[in-house]
């Protein structure tokens, strides 16, 4: 057994967060299982922050990357193109209904590109629209632009005032047995209408589920009503599907199920099946045409060095193949969660149970919700002792497992949560 210690030369992202425990050292990972350096095995019940879509080291994706690495590992995309990028653009365009694909490096920059395109599109039309509209509780990434449209938190506070003038509208999230959701939806729509009275470049939202704020789910009719208001005001709609994309909500994209036809869509996380960091922003042909001009200042400039990296594209194509070969793995996941969550929902500490697609969540009844509350950390610790890795968001406990998770592993996850609740004082 190796004792875990903080590494002397790493600046780890969770170093300072509320007495964070020393990171667990991972030796290798396959399927839903992480193999730790100290000999323990853990079920990765949240797909390493919603990334490893099929599970770790999915063999078909690993093989596609290895083959691509033999052929073309990288070339600057500014002056060149290549088959993997073109095939991926064709496929994602056909699947999303958005004709143009712009590459970037991760979820934050996919969002940032969407915001920049929306802004410049208006500018190219001769209209300065400086206002963006976002939803309370939203999370869109950690780059400065993406932070500006996310909820204010202890993480964004040091960077105030953030870029962009942003109006915020309530997010009327709901659960299985909710009361008063219609009233909250109507109030949110009224606030949206009010915000849209100021000409706004775009409205950005996480379709169906706000992830980082605690798997906060809204109903499809609410999102359709949002879309109607956005269209009526002549603004643009940006769907951030970084978390919800690729089957996570039970349909390939959450927009599909919600009846949304956004102007821009950001994708990342599951895009490469979790193998390589890559993001894409899909845009409608109408928006693209707004950048075709003899005026060089009308051009959209955003050129990352690794744009359209061929290895990432090959991984994304193989991941799509894997997804399409067996769609029941995501369309039927919700039915697998339901009986377990129903059972848990009778526990006196469980509030607001909900699930959609591969995502299941509930709140632990505590007096002190919020990111730094101790109950979530305690549940994480107790589940770890039972061989299950999860990471509650404040007092929200959730599962977002890889599609390869077996029934036996799913049962172990719920059993660990049940035992952790029994051992929690509340
Ligand atoms: N948007 C959403 C909805 C997300 O959930 C995340 C990541 N949690 C991001 C954007 C940012 O993605 P990344 O961490 O890859 O920058």
Burial class (CB in 10 A: 0-12, 13-18, 19+), 326: exposed
For 34-59, how does the pLDDT look when each residue is reduced to its tens digit (9 = 90+)? 999 999 999 999 999 999 999 999 99
User: How confident is the model at residue 154, as a pLDDT?
Assistant: 81
% pLDDT > 70, the chain: 95
Which residue among 13, 14, 105, 107 has the greatest number of ligand 1 atoms within 8 angstroms of its CB, and so is best to mutate?
A: 107
Beta pairing class for 396-399 and 359-364: antiparallel
For residues 291 and 70, is the Cβ–Cβ distance under 8 A?
no
Top pLDDT among 104 and 12 is at 104
For residues 77 and 305, is the Cβ–Cβ distance under 8 A?
no
Report DSSP letters for 335-403, one per residue.
HHHHHHHHHHTTSTTEEEEEEETTEEEEEE--S--STT-HHHHHHHHHHHHTTEE---BTTEEEE---T
For 264-287, how does the pLDDT look when each residue is reduced to its tens digit (9 = 90+)? 999 999 999 999 999 999 999 999
Whether the pLDDT of residue 3 is over 60: the answer is no
Whether the pLDDT of residue 4 is over 80: the answer is no
Token pair in block for residue 196? 């849209």
Whether the pLDDT of residue 387 is over 60: the answer is yes
**305 CA from centroid of ligand 1 (Å):** 20
108-112, 178-182, 366-370, range with the lowest pLDDT: 366-370
Token pair in block for residue 287? 């928006």
User: How confident is the model at residue 163, as a pLDDT?
Assistant: 80
User: How confident is the model at residue 19, as a pLDDT?
Assistant: 64
Query: What does pLDDT average to over the chain?
Result: 94
In ligand 1, which atom is closest to the CA atom of 138?
A: 3
Confidence of residue 388 (pLDDT cuts 50, 70, 90): very high
Which residue among 111, 144, 359 has the greatest number of ligand 1 atoms within 8 angstroms of its CB, and so is best to mutate?
A: 111
Where in 71-184 does DSSP place strands (E)?
A: 100-104, 131-135, 165-169
User: How confident is the model at residue 254, as a pLDDT?
Assistant: 98
Q: Is 252 in the pocket of ligand 1 (CB under 6 A)?
A: no
Task: Report the sign of the C-alpha dihedral through residues 111, 112, 115, 117, in that order.
Answer: negative
In ligand 1, which atom is closest to the CA atom of 108?
A: 16
**415 CA from centroid of ligand 1 (Å):** 29
| Cis omega (within 30 of 0) for bond into 240 | no
Neighbouring CB atoms inside 10 A of 6's CB total 10
**108 CA from centroid of ligand 1 (Å):** 6
Task: Report the sign of the C-alpha dihedral through residues 214, 280, 44, 374, in that order.
Answer: negative
Q: Is 140 in the pocket of ligand 1 (CB under 6 A)?
A: yes
For residues 61 and 273, is the Cβ–Cβ distance under 8 A?
yes
Crossing angle of helices 407-422 and 374-385, in 10° steps, is 130
Q: Is 106 in the pocket of ligand 1 (CB under 6 A)?
A: yes
Q: What is the Cα Rg of the chain in Å?
A: 21
In ligand 1, which atom is closest to the CA atom of 211?
A: 5
Which residue among 50, 106, 140 has the greatest number of ligand 1 atoms within 8 angstroms of its CB, and so is best to mutate?
A: 140
- At 266, which helix (H) or strand (E)? strand 264-267
Q: How far apart are CA 373 and CA 370, in angstroms?
A: 6
Q: Is 110 in the pocket of ligand 1 (CB under 6 A)?
A: no
Is this model's pTM higher than 0.80 or not?
A: yes
Q: How far apart are CA 69 and CA 62, in angstroms?
A: 11
For 325-377, how does the pLDDT look when each residue is reduced to its tens digit (9 = 90+)? 999 999 999 999 999 999 999 999 999 999 999 999 999 987 665 555 678 88
Q: Is the ipTM of this complex over 0.95?
A: yes
Q: Is 211 in the pocket of ligand 1 (CB under 6 A)?
A: yes
Confidence of residue 115 (pLDDT cuts 50, 70, 90): very high
CA distances from 279 to 260, 269, 417 (A): 21, 8, 33
Top pLDDT among 121 and 179 is at 121
Q: Is 315 in the pocket of ligand 1 (CB under 6 A)?
A: no
**304 CA from centroid of ligand 1 (Å):** 18
Beta pairing class for 236-240 and 264-267: parallel
Q: Is 108 in the pocket of ligand 1 (CB under 6 A)?
A: yes
Q: How far apart are CA 196 and CA 202, in angstroms?
A: 9
**141 CA from centroid of ligand 1 (Å):** 5
Instruction: Provide CB contacts within 8 A for 371, sequence distance 6+.
Output: 153, 154, 393, 394
Q: How far apart are CA 206 and CA 239, in angstroms?
A: 6
Q: Is 206 in the pocket of ligand 1 (CB under 6 A)?
A: yes
CA angle 120, 122, 123 (to 5 degrees): 60
Average pLDDT of the residues in 391-399: 92
Residue with the nearest Cα to atom 14 of ligand 1?
A: 107
Give SS3 for 38: coil
Pick from 317, 288, 271: which is nearest to 106 by CA?
A: 271
Neighbouring CB atoms inside 10 A of 34's CB total 21
Neighbouring CB atoms inside 10 A of 302's CB total 15
Give 354's strand partners.
Answer: 361
Q: Is 111 in the pocket of ligand 1 (CB under 6 A)?
A: yes
**47 CA from centroid of ligand 1 (Å):** 14
User: How confident is the model at residue 1, as a pLDDT?
Assistant: 42
Which residue among 51, 243, 306 has the greatest number of ligand 1 atoms within 8 angstroms of its CB, and so is best to mutate?
A: 243
Crossing angle of helices 181-196 and 220-232, in 10° steps, is 20
For 15-40, how does the pLDDT look when each residue is reduced to its tens digit (9 = 90+)? 666 567 788 999 999 999 999 999 99
Q: Is 257 in the pocket of ligand 1 (CB under 6 A)?
A: no
């Amino acid at each position: 057994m190796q004792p875990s210690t903080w590494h002397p030369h790493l600046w780890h992202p969770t170093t300072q967060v509320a007495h964070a425990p020393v990171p667990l050292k991972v030796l290798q990972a396959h399927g839903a299982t992480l193999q730790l350096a100290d000999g323990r095995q853990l079920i990765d019940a949240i797909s390493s922050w919603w990334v490893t879509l099929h599970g770790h080291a999915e063999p078909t994706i690993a093989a596609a990357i290895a083959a691509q690495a033999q052929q073309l590992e990288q070339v600057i995309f500014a002056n060149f193109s290549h088959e993997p990028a073109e095939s991926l653009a064709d496929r994602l365009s056909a699947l999303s209904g958005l004709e143009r694909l712009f590459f970037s490096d991760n979820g934050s920059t996919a969002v940032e590109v969407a915001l920049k395109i929306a802004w410049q599109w208006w500018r190219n039309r001769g209209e300065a629209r400086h206002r963006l509209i976002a939803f309370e509780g939203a999370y869109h990434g950690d780059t400065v632009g993406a932070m500006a449209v996310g909820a204010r938190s202890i993480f964004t506070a040091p960077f105030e005032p953030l870029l962009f003038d942003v109006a915020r509208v309530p997010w009327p999230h709901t659960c299985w047995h909710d009361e008063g959701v219609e009233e909250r939806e109507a109030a949110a729509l009224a606030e949206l209408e009010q915000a849209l009275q100021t000409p706004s470049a775009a409205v950005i939202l996480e379709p169906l589920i706000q992830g980082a704020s605690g798997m906060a789910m809204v109903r499809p009719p609410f999102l359709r009503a949002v879309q109607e208001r956005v269209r009526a005001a002549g603004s643009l709609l940006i769907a951030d599907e970084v978390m919800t994309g690729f089957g996570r909500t039970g349909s390939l994209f959450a927009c599909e199920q919600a009846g949304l036809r956004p102007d821009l869509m950001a994708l990342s996380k599951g895009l490469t099946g979790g193998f390589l960091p890559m993001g894409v922003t899909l845009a409608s042909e109408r928006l693209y045409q707004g950048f075709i001009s003899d005026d060089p200042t009308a051009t959209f400039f955003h050129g990352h060095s690794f744009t359209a990296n061929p290895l990432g594209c090959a991984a994304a194509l193989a991941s799509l193949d894997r997804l399409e070969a067996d769609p029941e793995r995501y369309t039927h996941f919700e039915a697998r969660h339901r009986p377990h969550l129903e059972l848990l929902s009778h526990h006196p500490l469980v509030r607001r149970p909900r699930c959609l697609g591969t995502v299941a969540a509930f709140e632990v009844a505590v007096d002190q919700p919020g990111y730094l509350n101790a109950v979530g950390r305690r549940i994480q610790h107790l589940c770890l002792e039972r061989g299950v890795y999860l990471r509650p968001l404040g007092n929200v406990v959730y599962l977002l497992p890889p599609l390869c998770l077996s029934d036996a592993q799913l049962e172990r996850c719920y059993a660990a949560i049940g035992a952790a609740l029994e051992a929690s004082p509340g």
